[in-house]
Structure 1
Amino acid sequence: MIAPRRFLPSISSLLALEAVARLGTATAAANELALTHSAVSRQLKVLEEQLGIALFERRGQGLALTPSGIDYANSVRDCLESLARASLKIKANPSGGSLSLATLPTFGTYWLAPKLRQFSQQHTEVTVNLGTRLAPFDFNREQFDAAIHFGRRDWQGVEYLELARERVVPICSPDLVAKPPVSAQQLIRMPLLHLESRPGAWEDWFEHHACPAEKLHGMLFDQFATMAEAAALGFGVALLPEFFAKDAVKDDRLVRAFKEPMELPHRYYLVWPKSVTPRAPLEQLVNWLSEATDPDLSVD
């Protein structure tokens, strides 16, 4: 149920509050909103009277937010941004059926995007909006219906659909390895590049190849794409998903430093909150991916 109208100020008053809070003066807010100074002041006064709380302290010719005003302005900003996103969604897909999906950059580009294209061709009534998230988040605080998760089933409060497993392979510049492939013992003496979201990846790789290593150091990256570019420039060896490495070596700037890929115990999942009944667009995507993917197959 919507709150009583006495708790619902007008959009004009809320816009005036947000602008003054962000810009610092009623004059600046008036210029941004294409209003007069007196009009903005009037909106603020109406808002304070409606709430029965002082949101500003008058200091000479200026205004300063009270502690309550600061908290309220932050909440108003979140509401206005949410309303703007909702308006953008309906404008992008007037018939409804939009779906917001948080994805991982490399997986989203090389694996998910082609499948979403097929899904969109079969479900023209659904618009899929994509955003990037590198780690689990609170669905109650984010505007996403679902997300792509890599790892184990350790995201609390979500449903899981397994999408694919992954193999990784070391790649580097041809200048770094004259005659690839090399052995694990040779690789451990080379500069190694690391991904923030996969701590210990190289240690696991060397252990798998009977060449134990601990506390390996090297340059740190937050995305595979930038790490691959650093590898191409000769900064070191990158451990990349095979589906990405295949494309990365095509232009001869990179070579596979080790012949055989290593399969990881982790998986790619589609996840969505248990606490919310999935809307029709999400149900359609879940059902379609269930039929279109085979978790027993690696990411190709």
Structure 2
Amino acid sequence: MKRAFVPPADALIAFETAARHGSFTRAAEELHLTQGAISKQVRQLEDRLGVELFRRVRQRIVLTDAGRLYLHEIRGPLLDLTAATRQVMSYAGSEDVLNLAVLPTFGTRWLAPRLGDFQKRFPKAGLNISVRLQPFDFGAEPFDGAIHHGDPVWAGAIAEPLFDEEMIPVASKVFRDRHDIATPADLVKAPRLQLSTRPLAWRQWFDQAGVAADTAFQGSRFDQFGMMSEAAINHLGAALLPKFFVRHELAAGRLIRLFDISIAQRSAYYFVYPENRTLRPVVSTFRNWLLEEARTERTDPETMLPS
């Protein structure tokens, strides 16, 4: 990288802030500088680039075509630099930091409630957790590991199984009583909620229950478990949800388990990590702890059916 082509960071920040606000004055307020300092930094940047970034129109500034292009190109790197700086600062007070990618539902409903135990056992371990929905290249992303749902296939990574996704039928008590649901066959005519990423779930469940259901694919469709769970809580329909996801709702009575019939998806949850890297102590420690928690999940008895 040629230093001659990399303007000072202060000038880039001044330009981005002024462009975002459309004002040197408001940029100065955000950056705790004077209006004159912002104007000077932008002018020096323009002189360095050899192009005009703003047109000065009376008391206003307006981006030129070159300014709009430059803003578009530098905004991403500035955000990346900010994120990288914050991430490095998180290492303060920790002997080592684990950078983990998780699925949103798994992270919120299963992992987060258990992290207190991990931190008690390993108080010097730091955690940076981000959401990723799809497999990525560990060589291009700053992650030490990831929680993956699907098949154990991830290029350049080792996938260790955690547990299957066991899905159970749930609904609110109000919904069950309103639709007189006493047998699995009663669900054929009752409203059901569908998850876009598990389109065959209800068909599989009815097959498991020995019930013919030509309408298995009908029902309101949702992209995420969280929205579907809230819809079920608010009496919109019956839902097939992972057992681990609704444990608290069942315990609180916001949802009830309709029948003692479940289905296990062919896909499962995995902990994946790069195959060409030696695991750092914090990653190895987390892996061992996570596999232990997953074993507990697999051997945990079924949530009891409501009376």
* Band of TM-score, shorter chain: 0.7 to 0.9
Secondary structure of the corresponding residue to residue 10 of structure 2: helix
> Whole-Å Cα distance in 2 between the matches of residues 53 and 143 of structure 1?
36
Partner of 1:188: 188
State the shift of 1:150 in Å: 1.4
User: Is 1:43 the equivalent of 2:44?
Assistant: no
C-alpha change, 1:55 and 1:261, in structure 2 (3 Å) is farther
Give the CA deviation at 1:231: 1.5
Q: How does 1:77-226 map to 2 (within 5 A)?
A: 77-96=75-94, 97-136=96-135, 144-178=143-177, 182-183=183-184, 185-210=185-210, 211-213=212-214, 216-226=217-227
Name the SS for the 1:99 alignment partner.
strand
- Using a 3 Å threshold, how does the CA distance of structure 1 residues 68 and 294 change in structure 2: closer, same or farther? farther
Q: For residues 71 and 147 of structure 1, what CA distance do their matches in structure 2 show?
A: 35
Distance in 2 of aligned mates of 1:189 and 1:48: 68
Matched residue type, 1:243: F
Q: Is the CA contact 2:110–2:245 (under 8 Å) kept in the aligned structure 1?
A: no
**1:248 is the counterpart of 2:249:** yes
Task: Provide TM-score, normalisation by structure 2.
Answer: 0.79
Map of 2:30 onto structure 1 = 32
Following the alignment from structure 2 to structure 1, what is the Cα–Cα distance between the partners of residues 127 and 284? 13
Give the superposition deviation at 1:141: 7.1
Q: Is the 8 A contact 2:165 2:267 kept in 1?
A: yes
Q: Partners of 1:154 and 1:63 in 2: how far apart?
A: 52
- State the AA in 1 paired with 2:44: V
In 2, Cα distance between equivalents of 1:291 and 1:57: 59
Question: C-alpha separation between the residues in 1 aligned to 2:140 and 2:23?
Answer: 30
For residues 156-197 of structure 1, what are the alpha-carbon distances to aligned partners after superposition, in whole Å with 9 as ceiling and x for unaligned? Answer: 5543222111211111122332476522x3212110112233
1:13 to 11, 14, 27: 11
**SS of 2:51 mapped into structure 1:** coil
AA aligned opposite 2:41: Q
Equivalent position amino acid for 2:107 in 1: G
Unaligned runs of 5+ in 1: none
Cα displacement (A) at 1:20: 1.9
83-92 or 235-244, which deviates more: 83-92
1:206·1:213 contact (CA, 8 Å) conserved in 2? no
Checking the alignment, whether the CA contact within 8 Å between 2:202 and 2:216 is kept in structure 1 is no
* Most deviating of 107-116 and 188-197: 107-116
> 1:160, 1:299 → 2: CA distance?
23
Give the deviation of 1:278 after TM superposition. Answer: 5.8
Q: Distance in 2 between matches of 1:295 and 1:248?
A: 20
Q: 1:285 to 1:16 in 2, by over 3 A?
A: same
Contact 2:172–2:233 at 8 Å: present in 1 too?
Answer: yes
Q: Please tell me whether the aligned partners of residues 188 and 215 of structure 2 are also in contact (alpha carbons under 8 angstroms).
A: no
Q: Decide whether aligned partners of structure 1 residues 12 and 155 sit closer, same or farther in structure 2, where only a CA change above 3 A counts.
A: same
Percent identity reads 36
Deviation per CA, 1:29-62: give whole Å up to 9, x if none: 2232233333212212222333x34251525344
Inter-partner Cα distance in structure 2 for 1:66 and 1:277: 50
CA distance in 1, matches of 2:267, 2:237: 25
In structure 2, what is the Cα distance between the partners aligned to 1:64 and 1:278? 51
CA distance in 2, matches of 1:68, 1:299: 61
d(CA) in 2 for partners of 1:162 and 1:54? Answer: 56
Helix, strand or coil at the partner of 2:19: helix
RMSD of aligned Cα (Å)? 3.3
Q: 1:126 Cα deviation (Å)? A: 1.7
For 1:173, the aligned partner's letter is: S
Provide the C-alpha distance between the structure 1 equivalents of 2:272 and 2:66, rounded to a whole number of angstroms.
37
CA distance in 2, matches of 1:251, 1:165: 24
Cα contact 1:151–1:268 (8 A) shared by 2:
yes
Match of 1:54 among 31, 36, 51: 51
CA–CA separation in structure 2 for the residues paired with 1:219 and 1:152: 27
Task: Report the alpha carbon displacement of residue 274 of structure 1 after superposing the two structures with TM.
Answer: 5.8
How far is the alpha carbon of 1:280 from its aligned partner? 5.1
* Structure 2 residues not aligned, in runs of 5+: 302-307
Q: CA deviation at 1:16?
A: 0.6
Change (3 A) 1:10 1:298: farther
